């Protein structure tokens, strides 16, 4: 499998039959409609003049400003049969922290009590029911989250944030917990926790790994970074990073994480092709029956 990247991912050959290609690049706004042989309109996905549909695998590195565009692009590539380890739905979850507790909570996964309000007044009646300390933040901004120790201080913070004209998230914290980041690659998990401001490797238990797998399945991403709180064997995911910090996490592990990602991509691509062939066979079989 030949891989090209703007992020120092190495070239690699595969002994498997056929030639597989993977592209690691940033997204450029270039989505054009065209016509196929039958005159039907379809979308072409172009990156700096390169037709992405010619690649077997595409991993978009998505900026927040391009999230809507990336959602459409991944939908087009999915229709064209191009494999990606992140789904278009994961684009939405990756840039809106309120959707994470909502989607996980609906699936019966443990989440932290979370309030979302468009104004201070919308949150005022409910904030007194929360257990402090809490985190106050904006749903579309991963930076600038504030830990607030009391209801009085929380109200002052809400006054300030309301002036920005954006929705506000108020979220309880997991008592006695440490923050964590899990790099998820297929079925493999690589976890770092922060203890007293120092990052260290943490080995996840069976239940914790099972929880991480279930969450990534629900969020539609097989290569991603989960961030959240961990206390004992309780693991609560707060946000999803579809642009994982592989370089930062690599220094804590002897295993070459980039190699693991490439192996997963090759496996995921092969599985997706088997699924496509099976779908075509089932469609043909159904037509033959009639």
Last residue of a domain, one of 123, 141, 172: 172
Measured CA to CA, the distance from residue 286 to residue 290 in angstroms comes to: 7
For residues 129-146, give the mean pLDDT: 81
Chain CA centroid to CA 184, Å: 10
Q: Is-contact 58 4, C-beta < 8 A?
A: no
Last residue of one domain, picked from the residues 122, 149, 172: 172
* Residue 185: pLDDT over 90: yes
Tell me: pLDDT of 290 over 50: no
Residue-level pLDDT at 281: 42
Average pLDDT over residues 12-21: 39
Shared-domain flag, residues 79 and 8: yes
Based on the domain organization, do 42 and 69 belong to the same domain? yes
Indicate whether 135 pLDDT > 50: yes
Identify the CATH number of the domain in which residue 220 sits: 3.30.470.20
Place 182 in a pLDDT band, splitting at 50, 70 and 90.
very high
184 and 153, same domain (yes or no): no
- Residue 258 in domain: no
State the pLDDT confidence band at 226, using cuts at 50, 70 and 90. Answer: very high
Q: List all residues 6 or more positions away from 63 whose beta carbon is below 8 Å from its beta carbon.
A: 26, 27
Does the pLDDT value for residue 36 go beyond 80? no
CATH number at residue 124: 3.30.1490.20
Residues 6+ apart with CB under 8 A from 118: 167, 168
Of the candidates 143, 227, 219, 240, the residue with the CA atom closest to the CA atom of residue 191: 227
127 & 155 share domain: yes
234 and 209 housed in the same domain: yes
Assess if residue 155 is contained within a domain.
yes
Burial bucket for residue 146 (CB in 10 Å: 0-12, 13-18, 19+): middle
Counted domains in the chain: 3
Q: Could you tell me the CA-to-CA distances from 17 to 20, 172, 228 in Å, in that order?
A: 9, 52, 41
Final residue of a domain: which of 131, 146, 172? 172
Instruction: Report if residue 105 sits inside a domain.
Output: no
SS3 string, the chain, reads CEEEECCCCCCCCCCCCCCCEEEEEECCCCEEEEECCCCCEEEEEEECCEEHHHCCEEEEECCHHHHHHHHHHHHHHHHCCCECCECHHHHHHHCCCCHHHHHHHHCCCCCCCEEEECCHHHHHHHHCCCCCCEEEECCCCCCCCEEECCHHHHHHHHHHHHCCCCCEEEEECCCCCEEEEEEEECCEEEEEEEECCEEEEECCCHHHHHHHHHHHHHHCECEEEEEEEEECCEEEEEEEECCCCHHHHHCCCCCCHHHHHHHHHHHHHHHHHHHHHHHHHHHHHHHHHC
- Is 108 within the bounds of a domain? no
User: Same domain for 72 and 126?
Assistant: no
pLDDT at 232 over 90: no
Where residue 267 falls among pLDDT bands split at 50, 70, 90? confident
Q: Could you report the per-residue pLDDT of 73-127, keeping only the tens digit for each?
A: 888 888 888 889 999 999 989 988 888 888 988 888 888 888 988 888 888 888 8
Query: What's the domain range around 212?
Result: 93-98+176-250
In a domain, 265, yes or no: no
In a domain? residue 260: no
């Amino acid at each position: 499998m030949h891989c090209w990247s703007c992020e120092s991912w190495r070239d690699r050959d595969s002994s498997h039959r056929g030639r597989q290609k993977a592209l690691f690049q940033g997204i450029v706004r270039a989505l054009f409609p065209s016509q196929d042989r039958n005159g039907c309109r379809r979308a072409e996905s172009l990156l700096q003049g390169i037709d992405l549909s010619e690649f077997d695998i595409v991993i978009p590195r998505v900026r927040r400003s391009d999230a809507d565009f990336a959602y459409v692009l991944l939908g087009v590539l999915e229709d064209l049969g191009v494999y990606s380890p992140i789904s278009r739905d994961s684009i939405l979850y990756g840039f809106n922290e309120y959707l994470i507790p909502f989607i996980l909570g609906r699936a019966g996964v443990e989440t932290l009590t979370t309030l979302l309000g468009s104004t201070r007044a919308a949150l005022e009646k409910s904030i007194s029911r929360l257990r402090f300390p809490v985190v106050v933040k904006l749903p579309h901004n991963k930076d600038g989250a504030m830990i607030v120790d009391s209801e009085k201080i929380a109200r002052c913070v809400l006054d300030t944030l309301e002036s920005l004209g954006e929705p506000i998230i108020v979220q309880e914290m997991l008592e006695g917990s440490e923050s964590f980041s899990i790099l998820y690659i297929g079925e493999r998990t690589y976890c770092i926790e922060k203890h007293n401001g120092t990052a260290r490797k943490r080995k996840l238990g069976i239940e914790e790994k099972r929880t991480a797998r279930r969450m990534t399945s629900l969020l539609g991403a097989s290569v991603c970074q989960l961030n959240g709180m961990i206390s004992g064997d309780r693991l609560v995911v707060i946000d999803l990073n579809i642009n994982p910090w592989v370089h930062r996490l690599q220094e804590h592990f002897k295993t070459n994480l980039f190699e693991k990602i490439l192996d997963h991509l090759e496996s995921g691509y092969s599985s997706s092709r088997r699924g496509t062939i099976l779908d075509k066979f089932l469609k043909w079989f159904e037509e033959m029956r009639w």
